[in-house]
Chains A and B, each alone.
Chain A
Amino acid sequence: DADVTQTPRNRITKTGKRIMLECSQTKGHDRMYWYRQDPGLGLRLIYYSFDVKDINKGEISDGYSVSRQAQAKFSLSLESAIPNQTALYFCATSEPRGLAKNIQYFGAGTRLSVL
């Protein structure tokens, strides 16, 4: 089983719909992240969380919200989806910096299309 699991893997939705992408991890990491990748671009950080009570905006948080339901679960919501949110979304986890090489571990991604 994957250490970082994202559901759904693919989703097609319509403009204006609310949608939630879910992420769960079995690595026991405290830190979790949501990124999006657009064609020809690198990954950009949407939100991150250092523990259950800690939520922070990344560089492109407008139009998104998150919920950290437990150490192992971190969900990303689009309250009212718009076409330019069509992208590949990745969840990632890591240990606190200084403990283990700053490595982030990624899920397989969710491909979202907003029509």
Chain B
Amino acid sequence: DQQVKQNSPSLSVQEGRISILNCDYTNSMFDYFLWYKKYPAEGPTFLISISSIKDKNEDGRFTVFLNKSAKHLSLHIVPSQPGDSAVYFCAAIGGGSNYKLTFGKGTLLTVNP
């Protein structure tokens, strides 16, 4: 059973517009959420995170929103740039584990010039 779901395998946006990547989770014990970005031939790199005690965290062009009642989080990228084109993974930690990241399947974001 997949505990972290990214239901959109891909997303295409125009440069300068907003990119919104979505993630749903089923385990209510998750208490920390992370977004990773992955370019081809590279490992995932940490992008931004949010604790379950918050509903928003912002870092430059990247903002993550958490809706605990809906078990949903989203990553907003504004404005989107061609260099943002990558696979984005949502991950969660908690639920009795203090080490295990549970990953979604990823969303391929393409930002068109």
| Residues on A facing B (Cβ under 8 Å) | 4, 31, 33, 40-45, 48, 50, 58, 90, 92, 94, 97-98, 101-109
Contact = CB atoms under 8 A, between A and B. Distances in A.
A109 B99 contact: no
Contacts of A92: 43
Contacts of B106: 42
Nearest to B41: A108
B9 A103 contact: no
Given A40-B105, A48-B100, A104-B46, 7 more contacts: A41-B105, A42-B105, A45-B101, A48-B99, A105-B46, A108-B41, A108-B43
Interface in B75-113: 89, 91, 93, 98-106
Interface residues of B, number: 24
Contacts, number: 55
B7 interface: no
B104 A42 contact: yes
B105 A103 contact: no
B101 A104 contact: yes
Interface in B18-70: 32, 34, 36, 41-46, 49
B105 A90 contact: no
A108 B43 CA distance: 4
A42 B32 CA distance: 18
Nearest to B97: A97
A103 B41 CA distance: 21
A75 B9 CA distance: 32
Q: Which 7 A-B pairs have the closest CB atoms?
A: A42-B103, A106-B43, A97-B98, A43-B103, A42-B105, A106-B44, A108-B43
B73 interface: no
A104 B36 CA distance: 10
B4 A102 contact: no
A102 B100 contact: no
Nearest to B103: A42
A26 B100 CA distance: 22
B49 to A, nearest CB: 6
A102 B43 contact: no
Nearest to B100: A45
